[in-house]
């Protein structure tokens, strides 16, 4: 085992896959000489050159379309969005091309492409740089979507995503890049369609993903000190949702609290609630409860920004009330 930062875990995964397969390339704004805005591609340009670590113009629709064409012709591109919000400019290419071409070509084309980069509410990055785009992309047929939350799962998931034959949207949280953890020295892969059971418990199921995993873990420490026994699931796979793992947990705890940074209206928690009701409604002792971000553009002001997202104390209070009411 070795201790590593999350951005270095992502860089290691990219480097290993580029070394293993000459078809793998990286493209995006400042990914080459500069090494990426968050240094995920640091050192790769010197190792692999201009044709495999390609600095692009500020034109997301153009270089995303080019990457999709490259994938169709046999390459395995990794697109780095300098900020995932910018990839809204390539929404047409991601939706109408990446998501659909394998189906509309009758399986004649595969689209082995990874679209990754930082997102989520940062620290005073302003509304346009603090978007939570998970639900935007979740509605697109043909995509797989994962959200890493630790250096360990970041590396294993990215390696699996690069080798997958389908387009993968790979969400990284802007405030998790400096998170440090031990990861194995040997090569490993993690499945793109499985949730992680972070903690087993019996009183309530708390479902979360990305940065909110760490807020939930802080809240769980407080809940355990109060004598409660919560179960925690990190979704990881936002599409498809690992409903089997969730249903197994709900049948044990009978209470569900979803904690997300996504907006409440039409968010990931909304889809989760619908699927839980469809599959295990009779096992619930109370309605599924959602703790989500405010349905507003994220303010630049630090205090207002903080007020838009969920914090551990809110999770503790809501879990208390749900368990005691049941």
pLDDT tens profile 72-103: 999 999 999 999 999 999 999 999 999 999 99
User: Which CATH number does the domain 196-325 belong to among 3.40.50.920, 3.30.360.10, 3.30.450.20, 1.10.1530.10?
Assistant: 3.40.50.920
Confidence of residue 134 (pLDDT cuts 50, 70, 90): very high
Q: Is the dihedral of CA 56, 57, 60, 62 positive or negative?
A: negative
Residue extent(s) of CATH 3.40.50.970 domains in the chain = 2-183
pLDDT computed for residue 28 by the predictor? 96
27-44 mean pLDDT: 95
Structure confidence at residue 128 (pLDDT):
86
The single-letter DSSP state of residue 85 is G
Kindly state the tokens that stand for 270: 């909304």
pLDDT-wise least confident of 68-77, 203-212, 253-262, 290-299? 290-299
Q: Hey, what are 173's tokens? A: 């949280």
Instruction: State residue 249 phi and psi, 5-degree precision.
Output: -70, -45
Q: Which residues are catalytic?
A: 60, 129
Reported as a pLDDT band with limits 50, 70 and 90, residue 63 is very high
Q: In angstroms, rounded to a whole number, what is the distance separating the alpha carbons of residues 164 and 202? A: 35
pLDDT value at 122 more than 90: no
Query: Is residue 326 scored above 80 in pLDDT?
Result: no
Question: Among residues 274, 239, 238, 237, which one has the least CA distance to residue 256?
Answer: 274
**C-alpha dihedral sign at 120, 122, 127, 128:** negative
Please, are residues 242 and 111 in contact by the beta-carbon 8 Å criterion? Answer: no
Determine the Cα angle at 227 with ends 284 and 323, to 5°: 25
Kindly report, as residue ranges, where domains of CATH 3.40.50.920 are found in the chain. Answer: 196-325
Q: What is the pTM of this model?
A: 0.95
Q: Write down the architecture of domain 2-183 according to CATH.
A: 3-Layer(aba) Sandwich (3.40)
CA distances 275 to 5, 14, 200, 278, 311, Å, are: 35, 34, 21, 5, 25
| 33 pLDDT above the threshold of 80 | yes
Q: Over the stretch 286-308, which tens digit does the pLDDT of each residue have?
A: 999 999 998 999 999 999 999 99
- Contact between 80 and 36 under an 8 Å Cβ cutoff? The reply is yes
Match 């990284």 to its residue by tokens.
172
The helix-helix angle for 312-325 and 212-225 (nearest 10°) equals 50
Residue 109 DSSP code: -
pLDDT for the residue numbered 257: 98
Give the strand pairing for 2-5 and 24-28.
unpaired
Bond prior to 23 in cis (omega within 30° of 0): no
Q: Is the model's pLDDT at 219 over the cut of 80?
A: yes
């Amino acid at each position: 085992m070795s201790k590593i930062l999350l951005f270095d875990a992502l860089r290691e995964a990219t480097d290993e896959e580029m070394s293993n397969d000459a078809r793998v390339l990286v493209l995006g704004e400042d990914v080459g000489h500069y090494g990426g805005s968050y240094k995920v591609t640091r050192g790769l340009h010197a190792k692999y050159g201009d044709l495999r670590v390609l600095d692009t113009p500020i034109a997301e629709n153009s270089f995303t379309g080019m990457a999709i064409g490259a994938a169709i012709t046999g390459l395995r591109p990794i697109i780095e969005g300098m900020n995932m919000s910018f990839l809204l400019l390539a929404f047409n290419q991601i939706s109408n091309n990446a998501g659909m071409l394998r189906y509309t070509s009758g399986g004649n084309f595969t689209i082995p492409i990874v679209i990754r980069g930082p997102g989520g509410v940062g620290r005073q990055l302003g509304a346009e740089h603090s978007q939570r785009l998970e639900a935007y992309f979740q509605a697109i047929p043909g995509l797989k979507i994962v959200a890493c939350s630790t250096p360990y799962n970041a590396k294993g998931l990215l390696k699996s995503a690069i080798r997958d034959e389908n387009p993968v949207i790979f969400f990284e949280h802007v405030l998790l890049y400096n998170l440090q953890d031990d990861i194995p020295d040997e090569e490993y892969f993690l499945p793109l369609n499985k949730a992680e059971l972070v903690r087993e418990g019996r009183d309530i199921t708390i479902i979360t993903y990305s940065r909110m995993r760490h807020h939930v873990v802080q809240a769980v420490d407080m809940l355990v000190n109060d004598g409660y026994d919560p179960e925690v699931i990190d979704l990881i796979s936002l599409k498809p949702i690992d409903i089997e793992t969730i249903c197994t947990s709900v049948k044990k705890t009978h209470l569900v609290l979803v904690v997300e940074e996504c907006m409440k209206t039409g968010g990931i928690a909304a889809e989760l609630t619908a699927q839980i009701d469809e599959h295990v409604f009779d096992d619930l002792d109370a309605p599924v409860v959602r703790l989500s971000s405010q349905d507003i553009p994220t303010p630049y002001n630090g205090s207002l920004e903080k007020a838009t997202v969920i914090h551990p104390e809110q999770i503790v209070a809501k879990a208390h009330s749900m368990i005691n009411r049941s």
